[in-house]
A and B are shown apart, each in its own frame.
Chain A
Amino acid sequence: MSSAYSKPLAVLFAALASLAANSQIAAAQSVTPYAAIPSSHVTYPGPGRGHQDDLPAGDVRIGLLVPLTGPRKPEGEAILAAARIALEESTVRGVSLAIGDETASPWGPTADALIHLVMDDQVIAIITSESGAVAHLSEQVGNRIGVPVLTLATDATTTEINLRWLFRLAPSDAAQARTFVDDIYSKRRFTRVLLVTARDHDGRVGASEFLAAVRNAGAPAPSTFTVDPQKPDLDAWPAALKHASPQAVVFWTSASIANALRSRMHSPAPGVALYLSQATVDGYEEPDAPFPQAADEIFGSQAWTVASRPNGFVPARHFAERYRAKTQANPGPAALAAFDAVGLICDGLQKAGPNRARLRDRLAEVTAYSGASGVISFDNQGNNQQPLRLVPVRLPTSRE
């Protein structure tokens, strides 16, 4: 074929491919699917429930795979502190923590830490951090070996694949995105929005879900700013901010990156509303009283995140007091969820005994568990799906 024809044909093929893809998407939205993940509770028909499968006598260990080095160290320390408080509060005796360090990259030593927790420490269950990549790393290990995994990640693809050993406590990226989009575009009628994401798995998933929610709302596409979490180029931030001139900035990054960027928001802030995904918030204070007012009327700032618990939720307040007493800091979503994850495991252990498969069965049945992060019920796929609402937050002082 001569080159004179190849370009127009390529364009034609691309257009046809695009048409076909769009037809598939349209069809997916309008046609009754041939099959779907069953809506009944997912059961695990495999082995491991017998007493011969119980873990060795002695201390039962709960595995924590959390970042204790690198830029996400504060998240790991918060999870660890919350887990320790949960164990102190628990009436179940003979339970301890085994800790694995989730390093900056999940692909090397993190896998070894995971293997060590499962095979050597013989943990009864694993709690993973807010990292979606680490949740995915753990999901297949949990599935093959048969170890319950409770993750604080917001990546819903971890629970959309029919595996029976993964339970996700955090609100999904999609649910967060819908809540933000509703407030930004429908209620406040903002038109200039800047979406800030990290160039990693969680940033990609978060951005994808936010942009999908924007499209579904028929709202104008936001400006975007992407940060390499390994080597954040903060020098480009002021120009991006100035160019977007946003009424709202949505952060889907780690807390450390968001804090660094916030500290450089001298202009055009104040007056810019900030929307922070769960992983972006490393510690905040919620108002106790109901808050029909805007966030700036409560805290003097305009920062929001999401939560499922009601205003002034007593278990959250009690946990926050204990956490502050221990750490001199306010708990963030990761600490609240980690406290609940340990509580759920201890609660399950009371009924299941030291057996991973029986504990899995108990976790799958969790309904209306009153935790610090809210009232937890797992659906058939292991999602803790509670309605979300916006929560005004008092953020820590900006730091570099």
Chain B
Amino acid sequence: MTKLPCWLCLATGLGPFFSAGGAIAIPASSPLYTKWTNYTAANGFPPGKVYCVRVDGDRVWAGTGHGLVLIEHGQVKRVFTPADGLAGRAVMSIAVDPQTGDLWIGAFGGLSRYSGGQFKTYTNLSSGLANDLVYSVAVKNGEVWVATAAGVNRFDTRTESWSIFNEKNGPFEEPWSYSIAFGDGNVYMGVWGGGVIVYNPATRSWRPYTDPDGEMEIVLYRNQGLIHNIVSSVAYNESTGMFWASTYFGLSGYDGRNWHNYLTKDSGLASDFINAVQSRGDLVWACTDKGLSCLNYKSNVWTTYRRLGTDGRGEIEITGPEGHKSKTVTPSALAHSYTLNLDFQGDDVWVATGNGLSHGICQLTQ
């Protein structure tokens, strides 16, 4: 049995990760999060679920069931509600316009733009928004893309014009749309029944990726294609050129040639029920209902973070490429193991959980 690289143990303060099959080597590009700071009802954060989180420089925005929360310098600075002009109390998605700094907020109640300290709200009645159940929003080059329960909208902020994409003009099975991501000049849409639909605005062409077994309740072959046609979230990794799709049945990745599917039964994934996926560098993050899992795609090493009981401690589970597992207990943990969304702040992560917002502080600083 060989030990882990010493730098890792020293940096994290953890002992080596041993399993029955030997030590699990954790690649240098896989940071460990052993220190968590949580924002919950206990310290002034709105109670209950946090649906989304978005980092904007030093500011962190969180969407909760009680409005939009702004955190600055580790403190809850303000909670915006419909009384301030927000479209709805339950905030599902937040996007920052990199050009203008404007904030776009998707809520159950419509779409809001926060600019210059003022909200402007767009609803199904007052604008071209397809539906007031807004699940995801993303903005790029002055275009706001919105996934709603009645299709995907594109809002051109320069012309104030709306377009809609649904089963009438695209390869959608049904109009219920849950996720939007950009990558490689394309718009990736995670939709109900239609899997991942890729739209190229330049060529106005579509490329749908669906579950080839066509069955709702089974996965026929492991790497058959997209794992399931109902996609809760989609993410594009700029450095690898891969897109990742989360489903309530497992995780799928596509590298342009092959599919790479992961289920709890054959990987270190905490649960097949995945609310959201993010990918950056060699890492793929899955926000599941039973913990936060991170796959190092190159080494096939998984790291899963869970909360243990009620005493604030957590658990890190490492699963090696051969399936060997190793666990260690940490003094702090995610606010809840039910995780819904994630964003990055440098090497740190911010995680939306079922019971508050968690800030995972990266300790691999050497």
Contacts and interface: CB of A to CB of B under 8 A. Distances in A.
Interface of A: 24-25, 27-28, 31, 33-37, 44-48, 52-53, 107-109, 111-112, 114-115, 118-119, 136-137, 140-141, 144-146, 157, 160-163, 201
Given A24-B213, A47-B338, A108-B131, 8 more contacts: A27-B213, A47-B336, A107-B124, A107-B131, A107-B175, A140-B135, A163-B248, A201-B174
A106 to B, nearest CB: 8
Nearest to B166: A107
A36 B51 contact: no
B273 A35 contact: no
A144 B133 CA distance: 11
Interface string B205-221: 00000001111111111
A34 B220 contact: yes
Interface of B: 41, 47-49, 51, 65, 88-90, 92, 108-109, 124-125, 130-133, 135, 149-150, 174-176, 178, 192-193, 212-222, 224, 228, 230, 248-250, 263, 265, 271-273, 289-290, 336-338, 354-355
Contacts of A118: 108
A53 B192 CA distance: 30
B354 A115 contact: no
Contact of A34 (B131, B176, B217, B221): B221
Contact of B218 (A35, A114, A144): A35
Given A28-B213, A160-B216, A35 B265 contact: yes
B249 A137 contact: no
A113 to B, nearest CB: 10
Contacts of A136: 174, 176, 192
Given A111-B124, A119-B108, A161-B230, A37 B133 contact: no
B337 to A, nearest CB: 7
Nearest to A133: B174
A115 B149 contact: no
B187 to A, nearest CB: 21
Contacts of B218: 28, 33-37
Interface of A is mostly: helix
Contacts of B216: 157, 160-161
13 contacts: A28-B218, A28-B220, A33-B213, A33-B220, A35-B249, A45-B337, A47-B336, A107-B131, A107-B149, A111-B132, A140-B192, A145-B49, A162-B273
A140 B249 contact: no
B39 to A, nearest CB: 15
A45 B222 contact: no
Given A47-B48, A140-B135, A36 B108 contact: no
A35 B263 contact: yes
B216 to A, nearest CB: 4
A109 B131 CA distance: 9
A161 B220 contact: no
Contact of A137 (B133, B224, B248): B133
Given A36-B217, A161-B248, A48 B90 contact: no
A45 B217 contact: no
Contacts of A47: 48-49, 336, 338, 354-355
B249 A144 contact: no
B149 A111 contact: yes
Nearest to B338: A46
Contacts of A52: 41, 47
**Residue among B133, B178, B263, B338 with the highest chain A CB neighbour number at 10 A:** B133
A124 to B, nearest CB: 16
A201 B90 CA distance: 28
A285 to B, nearest CB: 36
A6 to B, nearest CB: 19
A144 B92 contact: yes
B219 A34 contact: yes
B139 to A, nearest CB: 22
